Amino acid sequence: MIADLLDLSIAAGAEIMTVYASEFDVEIKPDASPVTQADTRAEAIILAGLAKIAPDIPVVAEESVAAGRVPPPSDRFFLVDPLDGSKEFISKNGEFTVNIALIEEGEPVLGVVYAPALGRIWWGGKAVPAQSAQVEQGKIADSTPIAVVACGPQGFRVVGSRSHGTPELDAYLEKIAVCDFVAAGSSLKFCLLAEGRADLYPRFGRTMEWDTAAGDAILRAAGGTVVTLDGAVLRYGKRDQPSDSDFANPFFIARSTGNNN
What DSSP letter does each residue of 224-243 carry, written as one string? -EEEETTSPBP-S---S-TT
Q: pLDDT digits over 32-53, tens only?
A: 788 899 999 999 999 999 999 9
43 appears as a binding residue in the annotation: no
- Give DSSP secondary structure letters for 148-211: --PPPTT-EEEEEESS---HHHHHHHHTS-EEEEEEE-TTHHHHHHHTTS-SEEEE-S--BHHH
CB of 158 within 8 A of CB of 227? Answer: no
pLDDT at residue number 152 = 79
What pTM value is reported for the model?
0.95
Q: pLDDT digits over 184-243, tens only?
A: 989 999 999 999 999 999 999 999 999 999 999 999 999 999 999 999 999 999 999 999
Residue 7 confidence (pLDDT) above 90: yes
31 appears as a binding residue in the annotation: no
107 appears as a binding residue in the annotation: no
Tell which wins on pLDDT, 88 or 31: 88
75 appears as a binding residue in the annotation: no
> What value does the mean pLDDT take over residues 142-150?
94
- Domains annotated on the chain, with CATH: 2-145 (3.30.540.10), 156-255 (3.40.190.80)
Tell which wins on pLDDT, 32 or 54: 54
Mean of the per-residue pLDDT values for the chain? 93
- Residue 153 pLDDT class (50, 70, 90 cuts): confident
Residue 165 confidence (pLDDT) above 70: no
62 appears as a binding residue in the annotation: yes
Q: What percent of the chain has pLDDT over 90?
A: 81
pLDDT at residue number 170 = 87
